[in-house]
Amino acid sequence: MTRLADADPPPSLPLFHDTAPHPCHYLPDRRAILRVAVPPSSIDAGIYGELIRRGFRRSGEVAYRPACEVCHACVPVRVPVARFVPDRSQRRCLKANRTLEARECPLAFFEEHYLLYQRYQASRHSGGGMEDDHREQYAQFLLRSLVDTRLVEFRDAGRLRMVSLIDALDDGLSSVYTFFDPELPAAGLGTYGVLWQIHRCLANGWPYLYLGYWIRECRKMSYKTRFRPIEGLVGSVWLSEDSSIGQRFERTDDR
């Protein structure tokens, strides 16, 4: 196991251990290894922000990042929001969803949210197993958090359309997970959710929206590159890429 810092770190800093190889959730022909921060209770707001800047993500109370020995396909990406300008399609999306009303809720279980989550998983990720998550699995995945997590619901004329889980950092927001009404594919709700989070960053003076991992070979990740300019973490450096993300964000680090 290793610590976050090298020289005589205080005992409150997390340790890290690597999981055993397991099937990759994104690239089915590959095996994945995750580097996990332990124990979760050692991760306060400051450490969590530093982990996000180092390419970690969060699932429930667990902070992790890929540590695969050969494959380096997962690239952490973020939007420098002050430089973001929506394109024509994104402007249409904002206009189409202008009647949506956002409301922050307590980080708690709501049956209506859970039912929407089930419908979303069954439609968008059928066969992945998450459509069968029972209520406790749903809660462990989305509602267990030791950091500043916001649960935001979006309604149109009172009807629930989308739910977003977002972590607040000292330099921005980290988009944890969003699910939405799968019966409205033309509404661009996922795009709207990212645009709304960018606006929240701007309104609060935060410089970045962290969008998790981008993977060239994974079609479900391709939407992230439409929010330009975008930056990717290569090794220990965040690189800006305004035009051809695939060429500059190839993983060449010796992680």
* DSSP string across 116-151: HHHHHHHHHSTTSSGGG--HHHHHHHHT--SS-EEE
Task: Write down all domains in the chain, each with its CATH number in brackets.
Answer: 2-73 (no CATH), 76-103+149-248 (3.40.630)
Residue-wise pLDDT for 157-191, tens only, equals 999 999 999 999 999 999 999 999 999 988 899 99
Q: In the 8-state DSSP scheme, what is residue 19?
A: P
Q: Which residues are paired to 174 by β-bridges?
A: 167, 210
Q: What is the pLDDT of residue 4?
A: 59
Report the C-alpha gap between 123 and 193 in whole angstroms. Answer: 18
Helix (H) or strand (E) holding 50: helix 45-53
Instruction: Report residue 14 as tokens.
Output: 């997390």
Residue 106 tokens, joined: 């307590």
| H helix runs in 143-242, sequence order | 189-204
Note if the pTM is more than 0.85: yes
- Pairwise CA distance, residues 78 & 87, whole Å: 17
Q: What is the dihedral of CA 63, 69, 71, 72, to 10 degrees?
A: 50
d(CA 15, CA 3): 5
Per-residue pLDDT of the chain (255 residues; tens, 9 = 90+): 655 554 444 446 789 999 999 999 899 889 999 999 999 999 999 999 999 999 999 999 999 999 999 999 999 999 999 999 999 999 999 999 999 999 999 999 999 999 999 999 999 876 555 666 899 999 999 999 999 999 999 999 999 999 999 999 999 999 999 999 999 988 899 999 999 999 999 999 999 999 999 999 998 899 999 999 999 999 899 999 754 445 556 544 433
Could you list the beta-strand ranges (E) of the chain: 2-3, 15-18, 22-23, 31-32, 34-38, 57-59, 62-66, 75-80, 101-105, 149-156, 159-169, 172-180, 208-214, 230-234, 237-241
Residue 130, φ and ψ in degrees, nearest 5: -75, -20
Q: Find all residues with CB under 8 Å of 138, minimum gap 6, and list them.
A: 109, 114, 117
d(CA 227, CA 212): 13
Measured in residues, the chain has a length of 255
pLDDT of residue 248: 57
The pLDDT, as a whole number, for residue 133 is: 85
C-alpha torsion angle, residues 175, 177, 181, 185 (rounded to 10): 60
φ and ψ of 190, to 5 deg: -60, -45
User: What confidence score (pLDDT) does residue 9 get?
Assistant: 43
Task: Write the single-letter amino acid at 19.
Answer: T
What is Dmax (Cα atoms) for the chain?
56
3-state DSSP call for residue 40? helix
